[in-house]
Amino acid sequence: MALRILITGASSGIGRAMAVEFAKEKNKIAITGRREDKLRETAEQIEKEGGEALVLAGDTSEPQTVARHYGEIYEKWGGLDWAILNAGISLRNPGTKFSAEIYKKTFETNVLGAAYWLEAIIPDMVKAKNGVIAGISSLAGFVGLPQSGAYSSSKSALLILLESLRVDLAASNVSVITICPGFIKSEMTDKNDPRDMFFVLDAQTGARKIIQAIKKKKRLFYFPWPLALPMACILPNLPRVAYDFIARRAIKRRLKD
């Protein structure tokens, strides 16, 4: 039986790759993003693989847009089985040039964008006593990465939001899954210095790992393990003075290059 799946941020990168993978199983896939032309390209790939696509162009940080999009999904399919909240942005913001506006934009998309969708979809999933919600956080959510305070803190907020929600919805038979990838090849990571990115995965590989974790209903899944081990397990448990020393050395090394 085909699943009714939502994927936010499906214009490109890992969102598009997940949509194409799901299409191979003949699922119905609602895709969102701000760039309609790119969403249409994703939809073409979905249909080529045998899936059914519903294009929902708009900004996930606008609550009225999210409400309208869910209304379209409900009218067409009667609800959702799975929701993958993948939309996100990353804006570098060195502390010496601190910008509250960057934090505002980042949280509006990475946290509130997910929250608006959760508000829309949870009532019907609870009523049906069935559903899967997967949020794409990041390994960056475990530590405050230098010059990436807005991104790290937004992903940390999403991680904690999903953790709380998982407990709250357990009795309703709604599964909540937190996915924390490392670096995935995408338009967002293309602007990074390659020397700062370790164990980069292509979008298709990343998508397959995420889908496998969702199907297994893993509560928390982070990957790849060579990066996840230090980021999620070691660095957060170091004495703060040790972490500060390592992070400051990394910044100084980059400034010398």
**Letter for the amino acid at 257?**
D
Residue among 70, 116, 151, 222 flagged as catalytic: 151
Map tokens 């992903």 to a residue: 155
Burial 9-24 (b: 16+ CB within 10 A, else e): bbbbbbbbbbbbbbbe
CA angle at 23 for the pair 17 and 28, rounded to the nearest 5°: 120
> Is 151 one of the catalytic residues?
yes
The C-alpha atoms of residue 110 and residue 153 are separated, in whole angstroms, by 10
Inter-CA distances, 135 with 24, 27, 50, 245, Å: 22, 19, 25, 32
Q: Which ranges in 179-239 belong to alpha helices (H)? A: 187-190, 203-215, 225-228
**3 state DSSP class of 222:** strand
For residues 28 and 3, the answer to whether their CB atoms sit within 8 Å is yes
Token pair 């020393």 in the structure block, residue: 245
Distance CA 22, CA 134 (A): 14
* Residue 48, C-beta contacts closer than 8 angstroms, at least 6 positions apart: 23
Neighbours of 87 (CB within 10 A): 23
Residues known to be catalytic: 151
